[in-house]
Amino acid sequence: MSILSKIKEFFSSEETEEKLEKIKFNQISEKLENQLNQIKELKARIKKEIISEIENFNSEINEKKEKLSKINIDERKEEERIKNIVRENLRLYLDYLGKFLENLKTNENLEPENYIAKVSQIFNNFQANSRIAFEKATILIGGELGSIKESINSASKNIRKILDDNQNLLQKENLIKELKKLISISNEFNKNKLESENSISNLQSNSQVLEEKKQELENKIKNIKESQEYKEMQEEKLKKDKEKNELEREILKIKEKADLKYLAKFFHNDGKKSEIIKKYLENFQKEADEDETLEIINLAKEAERDIESLRDIKKKFQEIRKEKSYEIQESLEKIEKEATRLRHEIITCFNDIEAEKSKINKFEEKTKEIEREIREKAKNLLNLEIE
């Protein structure tokens, strides 16, 4: 059976088969690989047939080429100018022919598909490059050159027939490769989905650990706030706040007693003293805190206003503002800070989990779309029904 008959048998057996072969989705890759291996074998046989055709062609052409090289143009009864034209173009044509045969031989080691394409290119290039030399040489030796051209045309026709009959084979190979590419994409989506699922599992485990740590800290915070030491600290702070509020009321009374507007009028001719009073008018308590000498007391005294008690109140304010270090408070703040950090991490884990779930949904949608296309192509191309 010839190679072309085998190719036709290969395709026709599949085309006439009506019953669909049922296979699992995970078997499709193996099925495609088997198809590609069959096509590879057929292409190798096609290459051998083309090589055989070219070998026969070479033998025939070399025999005619030898006869052509022995032609004596000088014996022809034509003008010398014409004989020179024929002689030169015959030499050119024989050079083209020699390179043509050499190129056919040197490309035999190429892969079948590349070799088939190369042979077609070599024939086309020879016909284009040698056309002018052939036409000019036929002026005197048309018969001899015509015989060579007939052999070339015959070989080209035979090879072209092999190539034409091979088109369906190459088309089917391309479709199978396209199908394999879709399967590869589907596998990649499934791989990405699995990675996202693993990521979610890790995030959930991490979130659970963080939640347990957070709960442990919140229990510590609760225990601290319910402890006697903490309650005493809060009572002490509350007492200080009350004292501070009382002192602020005392300062307000002193401010009223000083009657700053009166003092401003009283010292309006004294720029330096007026500036001091102006600052106290803007913010009495702030200026009293910052004024180390409490010059306002002396100014009030000059205007017969007694606010000497401002010194004692300032001292008491300074004592209250001295921050007492509470060990239990420092411990509580440290724990609360860590609990806040854990809450943020838990939120981040939750957001990451939602992002991975979104990825999975997209992967599943893409996978379903691609697998649907794979099933359709497998049915039309390979007569396979994927379960």
Indicate whether 357 belongs to any domain: no
111 and 165 together in one domain: yes
Indicate whether 356 belongs to any domain: no
When mean pLDDT is compared across 75-89, 227-241, 341-355, the lowest value belongs to 75-89
pLDDT for 325 equals: 64
CB 271 within 8 Å of CB 341: no
Residues of the domain holding 177: 3-201+370-386
pLDDT for 117 equals: 82
Structure letter (DSSP) for residue 110: S
Q: Does residue 15 surpass a pLDDT of 70?
A: no
Q: Does residue 122 surpass a pLDDT of 80?
A: yes
- 39-54 pLDDT, tens digit per residue, is 888 888 888 888 888 8
171 and 239 together in one domain: no
CB 183 within 8 Å of CB 32: yes
Q: Does residue 16 surpass a pLDDT of 70?
A: no
Residue 8 confidence class, pLDDT cut points 50, 70, 90: very low
Total number of domains in the chain: 2
Residues in the chain: 387
**Of 310, 288, 289, 296, the residue nearest 264 (C-alpha):** 296
CA distance 159 to 161: 5
Indicate whether 90 belongs to any domain: yes
When mean pLDDT is compared across 66-80, 144-158, 172-186, 354-368, the lowest value belongs to 66-80
Q: Does residue 11 surpass a pLDDT of 50?
A: no
pLDDT for 339 equals: 94
Indicate whether 365 belongs to any domain: no
221 and 261 together in one domain: yes
CA distance 187 to 76: 75
- 54-96 pLDDT, tens digit per residue, is 888 888 888 888 887 777 777 777 788 887 888 888 889 889 9
CA distance 10 to 14: 7
When mean pLDDT is compared across 226-230, 260-264, 323-327, 360-364, the lowest value belongs to 323-327
Q: Give the side-chain half-sphere CA count within 13 A for 81.
A: 0
154 and 30 together in one domain: yes
Output the CA angle 39-51-40, nearest 5 degrees: 10
pLDDT for 13 equals: 45
109 and 60 together in one domain: yes
How much is the average pLDDT of 263-279?
Answer: 88
Indicate whether 178 belongs to any domain: yes
64 and 181 together in one domain: yes
When mean pLDDT is compared across 132-146, 249-263, 344-358, the lowest value belongs to 132-146
pLDDT for 210 equals: 94
pLDDT for 323 equals: 64
Structure letter (DSSP) for residue 303: T
CA distance 94 to 179: 48
CB 224 within 8 Å of CB 328: yes
Percent of the chain with pLDDT over 90: 20
Q: What is the mean pLDDT of the chain?
A: 84
- 170-180 pLDDT, tens digit per residue, is 677 888 888 88
CA distance 177 to 101: 34
